[in-house]
Structure 1
Amino acid sequence: MAPIMTPEAVASKRKRDLDDQSKRKRRRHIRNGTQPETASGQLSNSEIATLVNGAEDDSGYAAKVLDVVKTETQVEKKDKHKNKSKSGKEVALQGSSCKWRVSEPIGGRMLNIDPILTEDDKYLILAYNTSLQVYSARDSLLLRKIELACPRIDGRQDQIVAICPSATAPKHVWVASYSGLVWLINWETGSGSEKNFSVGCDRLYDMHVDSVQFDNGSRDVLYISAKKGAAWCILACDIQKHKILASTPIFSFTAPIESLRVAHSGYIFAAYADRTIIIGSRTHQTIQALDSLSYEVVTFDASDDITSLDIRVSNRVHLNRKSQREASDTPVIDLAVGCARGAVFAYSDLLPEIRLLNSPKARHHALQPRKYHWHRKAVHSVKWSRDGNYILSGGSESTLVLWQLDTQKMDFLPHLSATIENVVVSKQGSAYVLHLDDNSVIVLSTAEMKPITYISGIQALLSPQPISKDDKVKRVGQYTPDRLTSIPAAISPSNSSQMLLCVGNGQQLSYSGSGPSMPLIQSLDLTTMQSVSRQALTRTNPTDVNITSRGHPITEPRVTHLKYSHDGCWLVTADEWQPPSRDIDVFDGSSSERKETYLKFWSVSAESESLELMTRIDAPHHSNQVESVYDLAADPKSDRFATVGGDGIARLWQPVIRQRDGLLIKGKKGRQLYSWNCSQAISLYGNEATAESDVPNEYFQGSGAVAFSEDGSVLVCAVVHEHGSVVQVIDTESGKIRNSLNDLIKGHIQGISVLSTSLIVLSDALMVYDIVLDELQYGVQLRKAKGSETDDVHGPGASIMNHLATDSHTSRFAVAVSRGKKGTTKVRSELAIFSPGGCEPELVHSFQNPITSLVSPPGSSGFLALDSAAQIWSIADSMDTNSLAFAYPLADLHLDLEPATNGEVANTPALILEQDDEGASEDDMDIDMDNTTNNEVMYPAVVAPQRLTELFDAAPSFAMPPIEDLFYQVTKLFSAKVAIPTP
């Protein structure tokens, strides 16, 4: 009788057979004289043909990025299958063909431009690079997105530089771009975006619009700060019907003119250039045409570099005849100036002071502004209140300061989420609008100082770092990033409509230390592109003093890895921090010896999806010092995680029930508590020589990657150390190494994954290896910079930032390659989608901005890519009904259209009856109407909750049909009336 074997014994026997088969195959290759390098994954130099950059233009950059290298086994298989039937070949091609589509980007970065709050405080208009977005101030929803056709000039994309509301038409807004193009757009309907005109300048810096009274009426006049030739000037343009009727230069200067402000129907304008304040007052009260517009311009120096400016004009009130005789009826001009070192200067009633200053009787007279100094760095924005009793200022301290001029007291609104970039006071003075550095906007009520509107986009770090007004003064401890930063991201399997991103406290605070810091996690709703929540995963300094006594900023940790469990109930993060070198100069040793690394296990709440820390592992990987966590992977079938670190050890982590003195510990609502421990530790170096060399390389940076197989039975680990590199195939149950693969890694390892039986290794080359057949499928050499490694803009080959993501639904994987070109700082990315069985990419797409994160959403096919401009791209199969889809603005539903009047037919979608159905006759319809009208009462339809559940829970939110289709399906349920006979 045959022995009875358990399933574990059967699986173990099958693995031993596979190992024996692979060993016999390798021995057979050696006896036949086959090169062992091919079996182990190594390719000769003649096989790997590196495609370098050719021409220096964009067309050369967009050339082929990948060189496919086939092994000898593939060539033999191809020749062997040439004689097969034609039908079989067509089936194979048809089964492997996928038509991939790349969606338009969503998200983006709000520009450093003052937002527009409409006169009735109901709508908020924000400016992005090439579009305007209109939001409802009541519920913070996107109503309309207005795209502008901004051309490319000298290889660069033109973008918006200024937006101003029309002074004569409240429903219109003026938009200007860097190249001098101007649009007049109706923000209610979006009309006017297709028409533009040029003001004829080399570069436009700023624009302001005010109504000017002419003889034939009042109309908008555009005041533009622009560069023409070698001079910077202020132009006044009269525009009607998208044509420039007249253009008059009113001032010229030798430096760029910024923060142009015009008030009192064009009577006064103010601006600044470096340390020079520019004030202009109109010489005539009324003008006939724009050619007769002239100003008396006065310039004077400030005591510091200027970063912001605001002007307030009010009517003069005379207390007696003497004051009326001395000052006449000229308006009162108040000026507020913010400077680069934190001071705010307030000039009151400026015109009489300037006239007294220019009179010959006052030789020793000087302007004496009031000085207010609280900010440590530059004042990013300064504004007057409507009544003139307060000055509002904001900067990098994340605090809104209200200066009360009469009492010299200060009021604060502290602990904002990021640096204040712009402050806007509503026209009625009932609300303040704050644009923050973390890509968010807050509308506050002036009565209670409470937020009534909050709009937040993608808050990931940008690359390159945005220019800040703080950079006008060079300070100690400033850090300028020279490399791209990978953004850890994840999508929960339990809620696929939300995406988690690791972010910082704004752009300036994240880059202020010794390196980019990302201590927070942002939950982003993909259906609305709004931020749902933010939570700190590491220690942060938002409310404490974040500057040392020497003026150095205190750095915050950076979350390096982020993974969900297979059911979305657990989230595991790895964060890292090390002190800057300047802080340990008096101590022995390097900064890496004081590195802090933590592995944290978070429980995800099923109700609110908030995170609760359950276990923190200090220094999960360590040798004679704390080592970094190279990679983190989640078991797709159980609550188990794997890490690989700089100590060359792979560790498996599993939960255990938390107990105390033999008793189970319960949490809130009787929930069982768990603790996470290391269940297995596997050394990846094996029998290799890992002893320290005679001259240790202190500057060598290792790398590693780890991944589970689809059934969780196999763990693959790849490490690059000082003595070489290796890929280990490990049995997760026993912890034994089943196979060692050499020469699959070129340079530093940047990703590894298992798709079916194929092992995908991403380094400076892409290798696809069949684990069962124990042979290399194909290799792809990634393009390097022209010349040698030193020609790369971002350093040697290890600085290239690559991403790997696998899609188990379509059995495809995507690779994103970011690389700069010689002679330019511009970095682009190219994304390619491969099949494990085919060496030719099914899609190669070029992105203008480098990709910083690439994920595959669970529960649906396709990929999501995040670029360095805070934009998300969707790459999905066009033939797959379960692909990705994003929501559109509410304006696409046309809910704001007026209903059709009597005699008009509304152009609305309608259901078309099939040909087999017979329509009701007019007599039947009359009878039904009579019965319903006379004997029955109409009641609203009662819709069962399960009917709505069938509509909304059929698929994840981002994989559902368009919102317009859902809207009509829901209205169809509720529009049905129930007729009940009356007694």
Structure 2
Amino acid sequence: MTQSLGIEQYKLSVVSGGKPTLNDFSSVTGNKNIARLSHDQLNYIIPFNNQIKVYSVETRQCVKTLKFANNPVLCGIFLQEQEDNESIVKILLGDITAPQQKNAHMITVFTKSGHVVVLNYKGKLVESPKHFKISLENEQLSNVFHSKGTYRILTTFKDVKQKAHNSLQSYRLHGLTFDESKAQFDVTFQAEWSNVILSNTSSNGKLLTLMNKDVSTKDHEHKSISVVSIFDDSVNLSFPLSSVLSSQTQSLSSNTRYVSSMAINNMGQQLAIGFASGVISIVSLADLQIRLLKWHIDSVLSLAFSHDGTYLLSGGWEKVLSLWQLATNSQQFLPRLNGIVIDCQVLGPQGNYYSLILQMTENNSNSDYQFLLLSASDLSSKLSINGPLPVFNTTIKHIQQPISAVNTKNSNSITSINHSKKKQLRKLIKAKRQDFTTNVEINPINKNLYFPHISAIQIFDFYKNEQINYQYLTSGVNNSMGKVRFELNLQDPIITDLKFTKDGQWMITYEIEYPPNDLLSSKDLTHILKFWTKNDNETNWNLKTKVINPHGSSVPITNILPSPRSINNGQGCLTADNNGGLKFWSFDAHEGNWCLKKISLPNFNHFSNSVSLAWSQDGSLVFHGFDDKLQILDFDTFKKFESLENTKTVSEFTLDSEIQTIKLINDTNLIVATRTTLNAINLLQGRIINSFDLYPFVNGVYKNGHLDRLITCDEKSGNIALVINQQLANPEGVPTTNYKSRIIIFDSDLSTKLGNFTHHEYISWIGWNYDTDFIFLDIESTLGVVGTTVNTQLSDEVNNEGILDGLMNNTTGTLASSNDVFAEQLNQLSSRGKSDASDKDANGNDEDEEDITLEFINGEKKDKLVNMNSFTSMFDNIQNVQMDTFFDRVMKVIT
């Protein structure tokens, strides 16, 4: 199949973002953190779902990134085995396949399905690193232990005999040796434990503690705790849980008997048990004597002993790290953390560092984690690591909320924890509306990404791949303290929209405040419009103007549109409501404040959330899409645009369904997306010149107005990017929770398709970066770019299946890969230019022109005219280009 010239301009690369990876070692607790300190304690190696990042502890900077997409071996393991949800479970320092070679720059990475890869974390990423596969039968790797040249692996498997208890895991411990002559790993069985509820290991990795449930008896409360040595038989004891419950807990609620976390000290002398009630029980394993530590008022989610056993670290819903000195029962606190503490560990040979994993539970559509590295001496922060923090419209897959004493929307109770995951997966598969879109804005000046995150914003640098700032913009309980128990039902204000003025000097936010539940006024929401500014040398934005209920009591704002530079130097904006009303706000230099300058009263007799706005560059015309009507308004009067007497201009269009978004291209074409079609309206001709069917991909899938997040336009070139998401089915045709997506690039009037790219995950947002590229975000929080100036240092995600992958093969008229109905429909969308060209002929264009258009769309324009402008685009990005690459570019222009 011949590639068209336009397609070669754009490339798709997945280059940034990602989520830090946790080890789902057990359902509730147990060494979730798999990040490692290097031997010299200068580097912190942390795996993400798309890369491994190495941070310098001294400078706090990311000093090395090992991107999976850059390497064929890593790409094959992590990016092409999406169905298995492959992830890293352990990182060991050094090359364990060559222990005699003392290479401090090597790490050995273990994955869930048994892949073992040896990588260099300081030098260049080797093209084909050492790669082995541990043969595991129906087992998944959970953890790897190492002591004096001896290795053990812990695996999990589902015991087929225990179908009624799907929440329980069975563990096996195996010895692991590497046979150099055969270049393979050998596994020898050591021990097995069934029906495990909880597990954890000591900080030196030599002791394992487990809690089992006895399912043979009818009394499901019968649980036992085991403590075993991993490398020898020095410790091996087991006792019933009831023997270490205090007398008062026997008769109280189930929260006082439900164990939410455990920890064992390095010497095997003390066991800490955390309960859902907030009590911590310290058990002396010599005589099973107990003492209680009481401070937490909700579930204890994480516990860890210091190396010498003198201190105990605990964390939970209070967003506070508590350090208990066990000899005196005195406490130290590290309060006001960004999230609840779901994991704490002691790192370093001398225990010099504490590592914490925080979960920001305010966002219940996604699991937002932050990794902290603290100095053990003064609890000062050394590193704070997280990826982008998008808030999705619907809860995505693989989300697990921590356990709490009460069941709220931010947590699981002890009665619901076993069912929540299955219920969520069933809901995701059956739901018709698969709307996982998110709201992101790009600052026009510094190109940073702004993620509204409930009552805060996260500022993320796409190019450096790190968080710049996290700032609370509203007043709520979570800004100052953690919520526990029934406080979790108090809803903080939510930032639902965010925009920048064209000069990037002002940020406009729209938030909704919720009154407490169970009141007569519980449905009376407060809508707030805020205007923010900041100086170049400041980190935080400062509030300048706050408007409460800008469109009237309980009237929401459905759209915000910053003004073009021709209106008050771009320091203005339009807001629209759900009844057709418009208001124009502008910064008044004399008042030193933002003021309401113009108003257009509601002119429709019904309500709709499908509201779109566009503005002409000269500021004279405003395009207002409301429900299925598109009106052209004169900005001066806010009335329908009326032309001169001798010309006829259409000032209102009625479309086939609700308008989702409108984009004005080059002041001549208006791109209008409805729930069923994508249209290009030529304003000079006053008619639709091109139209595509979007019905199979959009109808009923996205919430009104959310398709706007999946369509964007390059305001310089006029090119349009459209995202199409597809839910995948298994071989039997049953829908799954897996997705793939396509990004299609059109020119300004939708007549020519300039690119068609496939991505292996659901894309939640796409936006123009005020240059030549489109940036997108998927539900795995990875960031990619579709652009013409992709830097050679960025990783290319190769479009293996061809530009029209999986679609209709134009040369043969048959399906290229499968008889997929979705692919057939998408082909009609992406090759629709042929019929559009014949439409033009019916409108009076001659046939020669039609033939040229058809050939150009199919990439077969042979008689090409070369002139002085033909080579201009080659020099846009000429730095560091090799001679053969330069020669290829010349050949593309002249052939």
TM-score strictly above 0.5? yes
CA distance in 2, matches of 1:579, 1:465: 30
The match for 1:182 is 116
1:159 aligns with 2:94: no
User: What is the TM-score when the length of structure 1 is the normalising length?
Assistant: 0.64
Q: 1:163 to 1:484 in 2, by over 3 A?
A: farther
CA distance in 2, matches of 1:601, 1:755: 29
Identical positions, percent: 20
Q: Where does 1:493-892 land on structure 2 (aligned, <5 Å)?
A: 493-496=444-447, 498-503=448-453, 518-542=454-478, 544=480, 547=483, 550-579=486-515, 582-584=517-519, 587=520, 591=523, 594-608=524-538, 610-622=540-552, 625-637=554-566, 638=569, 639-659=571-591, 674-683=592-601, 685=603, 690=605, 702-720=609-627, 725-738=628-641, 739-744=650-655, 746-747=657-658, 749-764=660-675, 765-784=677-696, 802-818=709-725, 820=727, 823-858=735-770, 860-877=771-788, 881=789
Q: 1:811 to 1:477 in 2, by over 3 A?
A: closer
Deviations 1:845-885, CA, capped at 9 Å, x for gaps:
33333333322112x111111222211111102xxx5x678
The match for 2:219 is none
**Equivalent AA in structure 1 for residue 561 of structure 2:** L
Q: 1:491 to 1:373 in 2, by over 3 A?
A: same
Q: How much has 1:106 moved relative to structure 2?
A: 1.4
Q: 1:887 to 1:136 in 2, by over 3 A?
A: farther
Q: How much has 1:205 moved relative to structure 2?
A: 5.3
Q: 1:579 to 1:235 in 2, by over 3 A?
A: same
**Equivalent AA in structure 2 for residue 653 of structure 1:** W
CA distance in 2, matches of 1:655, 1:441: 40
1:468 aligns with 2:409: no
The match for 2:77 is 150
1:411 aligns with 2:328: no
Checking the alignment, whether the CA contact within 8 Å between 2:297 and 2:484 is kept in structure 1 is no
Q: How much has 1:273 moved relative to structure 2?
A: 4.7
Q: How much has 1:608 moved relative to structure 2?
A: 2.5
Q: For structure 1, which segment, 612-621 or 750-759, has the greater mean C-alpha deviation from structure 2 after superposition?
A: 750-759
**Equivalent AA in structure 1 for residue 307 of structure 2:** R
Deviations 1:164-198, CA, capped at 9 Å, x for gaps:
45697775544332223334545445668540212
Checking the alignment, whether the CA contact within 8 Å between 1:719 and 1:749 is kept in structure 2 is no
* Matched residue SS, 1:150: helix
Checking the alignment, whether the CA contact within 8 Å between 1:850 and 1:867 is kept in structure 2 is yes
Deviations 1:479-499, CA, capped at 9 Å, x for gaps:
889764543322223323x22
CA distance in 1, matches of 2:279, 2:881: 52
CA distance in 2, matches of 1:202, 1:187: 31
1:393 aligns with 2:314: yes
CA distance in 2, matches of 1:798, 1:273: 50
Q: 1:730 to 1:208 in 2, by over 3 A?
A: same
* Matched residue SS, 2:518: helix
> 1:135 pairs with 37, 55, 58, which one?
55
* Matched residue SS, 1:369: strand
The match for 2:265 is 312
Deviations 1:567-621, CA, capped at 9 Å, x for gaps:
11111111123346x433xx27x72xx1111111112313325322111111122
CA distance in 2, matches of 1:579, 1:381: 33
> 1:421 pairs with 319, 327, 342, which one?
342
Q: How much has 1:154 moved relative to structure 2?
A: 8.2
Q: How much has 1:444 moved relative to structure 2?
A: 1.7
Q: 1:111 to 1:154 in 2, by over 3 A?
A: closer
Checking the alignment, whether the CA contact within 8 Å between 2:711 and 2:766 is kept in structure 1 is yes
* Matched residue SS, 2:710: strand
Q: 1:524 to 1:809 in 2, by over 3 A?
A: same
Q: 1:177 to 1:272 in 2, by over 3 A?
A: farther
Q: 1:645 to 1:439 in 2, by over 3 A?
A: same
CA distance in 2, matches of 1:569, 1:600: 14
* Matched residue SS, 2:736: coil
Q: 1:563 to 1:384 in 2, by over 3 A?
A: same
> 2:12 pairs with 98, 102, 121, which one?
102
Q: How much has 1:964 moved relative to structure 2?
A: 12
**Equivalent AA in structure 2 for residue 236 of structure 1:** H
**Equivalent AA in structure 2 for residue 243 of structure 1:** Q
**Equivalent AA in structure 1 for residue 501 of structure 2:** S
The match for 2:357 is 435
Question: Which structure has the larger Rg over C-alpha atoms?
Answer: 1
CA distance in 2, matches of 1:885, 1:712: 39
The match for 2:194 is 253
Q: How much has 1:727 moved relative to structure 2?
A: 1.0
Q: How much has 1:769 moved relative to structure 2?
A: 0.8
Deviations 1:248-280, CA, capped at 9 Å, x for gaps:
13123134664355858x5x4323457643312
CA distance in 2, matches of 1:834, 1:141: 39
Q: 1:800 to 1:837 in 2, by over 3 A?
A: closer
Q: How much has 1:812 moved relative to structure 2?
A: 0.4
User: What is the TM-score when the length of structure 2 is the normalising length?
Assistant: 0.70
Q: 1:109 to 1:760 in 2, by over 3 A?
A: same
Q: How much has 1:649 moved relative to structure 2?
A: 1.0
CA distance in 2, matches of 1:750, 1:209: 54
CA distance in 1, matches of 2:503, 2:792: 23
Deviations 1:281-331, CA, capped at 9 Å, x for gaps:
479679xxxxxxxx84635336644443332223xxxxxxxxxxxxxxxxx
Q: For structure 1, which segment, 555-564 or 370-379, has the greater mean C-alpha deviation from structure 2 after superposition?
A: 370-379
> 2:388 pairs with 458, 469, 476, which one?
458
Q: 1:804 to 1:727 in 2, by over 3 A?
A: same
Checking the alignment, whether the CA contact within 8 Å between 1:634 and 1:707 is kept in structure 2 is no
CA distance in 2, matches of 1:640, 1:414: 41
Q: How much has 1:104 moved relative to structure 2?
A: 1.9
CA distance in 1, matches of 2:594, 2:50: 48
Point out where structure 1 has 5 or more consecutive residues left out of the alignment. 1-89, 212-217, 287-294, 315-331, 354-366, 504-517, 660-673, 693-699, 889-958, 966-983
Q: 1:887 to 1:817 in 2, by over 3 A?
A: closer
Q: How much has 1:828 moved relative to structure 2?
A: 4.5
CA distance in 2, matches of 1:439, 1:960: 37
1:210 aligns with 2:146: yes
CA distance in 1, matches of 2:658, 2:787: 31
CA distance in 1, matches of 2:82, 2:467: 36
Checking the alignment, whether the CA contact within 8 Å between 2:19 and 2:386 is kept in structure 1 is no
The match for 1:85 is none
Q: 1:727 to 1:246 in 2, by over 3 A?
A: closer
Q: 1:726 to 1:832 in 2, by over 3 A?
A: same
CA distance in 1, matches of 2:41, 2:93: 13
Checking the alignment, whether the CA contact within 8 Å between 1:569 and 1:604 is kept in structure 2 is yes
Deviations 1:14-40, CA, capped at 9 Å, x for gaps:
xxxxxxxxxxxxxxxxxxxxxxxxxxx
> 2:241 pairs with 301, 324, 327, which one?
301
Point out where structure 2 has 5 or more consecutive residues left out of the alignment. 23-31, 69-73, 162-169, 214-222, 246-256, 360-367, 412-423, 429-433, 642-649, 729-733, 796-875, 883-895
Q: For structure 1, which segment, 443-452 or 820-829, has the greater mean C-alpha deviation from structure 2 after superposition?
A: 820-829
**Equivalent AA in structure 2 for residue 627 of structure 1:** P
Q: How much has 1:418 moved relative to structure 2?
A: 1.8
Q: 1:806 to 1:799 in 2, by over 3 A?
A: closer
* Matched residue SS, 2:402: helix
Q: How many residues align?
A: 695
The match for 1:237 is 175
**Equivalent AA in structure 2 for residue 99 of structure 1:** Q
